[in-house]
Amino acid sequence: MGSTTRDDIYILPEATAASLILTHPTEDEKRRTWTLNHKEWGGALTLQEYLKREPYLTTVPLSRDGGMTHWILTDSSWTVENGGDRPVLASCESISKRVLVASPNDTTVREGIGHGVGSVFTYPEFRGYRYAGRMLNELGPALRKWRTEIHNGQDAICSALWSDIGKAYYAKKGWAPFPSLHAEFSVPNNQTPDNDEQTNGKGNVAPVTYDNLESLCAQDEQLLREKILRSAKETGRTSVAFAPDHDTLRWHLFREDFIAAILFKSTPQQADVMTCIKGALAGSEGRRVWALWSRNYYGGKGSPADNVAKNTLYILRLVIEPEEKEEKEGEPSEDILTAFTAVMQTALREAKTWHLGKVDLWNPTPVVKRLIERSGLQHGWVDRDEESIPSMMWYGDEDVREIEWVVNEKYCWC
């Protein structure tokens, strides 16, 4: 497992070496890692802009005060005599999140902690040594006990990641793949006068902004708790969901605000970046549909308007109030259909305004699938098998393949 020769020259260890440890990086090591992984995850940001965004994301709700943790795999046998900085053989991040769970015999929903894992990365010069695999082997068990003090010392319920290298690799490490279907709406094909006439003046559409976001998140969680209990009883399986709470949604929204403020700083839209709507709400009280979304801009030279085909508006969370009635009847009612169509038309118009070429809605429920088909909106279905594959490691007694991941939508991603 060695690390040095008689000349004190550092030798890279085997991935199985006992000297390899999972630990946390210094500030300099974080910056070095961000500099190297910018090409992977910098999107439309320059390196300097990306180096500002990553520290910023540790200060926002959900990830501040220890909510985000940076991890590295390094060699404990390295010494300063080896020269240079200690090797960062692999790196990643985790964010602690609230998780809601119910078993078939439960009458109330239990709450615990879960972890979202992201930015799994190996420095280019260390690739091929299976260091990322070793890091993940260490990380899975470590997260089970990580930050459990915020839930009375109870083990974490689960951890999750979103694989961009297919379904097999992370499954072998204990993160089982879950459904990865999404509906994709092409913005130009839907932006027609006829479609606008169908929804203008209907559905009582109102914007979702930072002012009403918190109350909607609270209502969503109440509905979701009921849905989890129903799911557990109907399927006979333990059902789990990441809580779509205020902090979780703001993490996504603050992230996109930061990026958009940079990308639109020299355009007439600059003043609207921070005040643009974050979603849409339609329908009457007790029979509402709402969606929250975020703008995502991808790499390439030029302005956002030059990369429209790649840019995407993601529906973070879609809520039907209440969905139980529609589930039982099997066919969505006309008022819910009208509200849904109005919300999606608003999303399409916002996408066009902000140079986004498509709108993606992840893992729609059977009710939402029927609404999509009946809405008249042009769309396609994408069953992802390589990118953004939701994958979960379960820390309970059940086999993860018997777990129902309820509302496995984009807001869970990190």
Q: What is the pLDDT of residues 149-162, one digit of tens each?
A: 888 889 999 999 99
DSSP 337-350: HHHHHHHHHHHHHH
Model pTM score: 0.93
pLDDT-flagged residues of the chain (< 50): 1-7, 192-201
3-class SS of residue 364: coil
d(CA 106, CA 1): 50
d(CA 44, CA 148): 36
3-class SS of residue 139: helix
* Domain architecture of the chain: domains with CATH: 20-177 (3.40.630.30), 181-384 (3.40.630.30)
pLDDT at 194: 45
Q: What digits encode the pLDDT tens for the residues 176-219?
A: 999 999 999 999 766 544 444 444 445 589 999 999 999 999 99
pLDDT at 303: 85
d(CA 287, CA 342): 14
pLDDT at 276: 87
pLDDT at 165: 97
pLDDT at 181: 98
d(CA 261, CA 155): 39
Nearest to 333 by CA among 344, 322, 319: 322
The number of beta carbons lying within 10 Å of the beta carbon of residue 227 is 22
Q: Are strands 312-320 and 358-362 parallel, antiparallel or unpaired?
A: parallel
Contact 238, 403 (CB under 8 A): yes
d(CA 298, CA 79): 40
The DSSP 8-state label assigned to residue 62 in this structure reads T
Alpha-helical segments (H) within 192-295: 193-199, 210-235, 246-263
Backbone phi and psi for residue 123, each to the nearest 5 degrees, phi listed first:
-55, 140
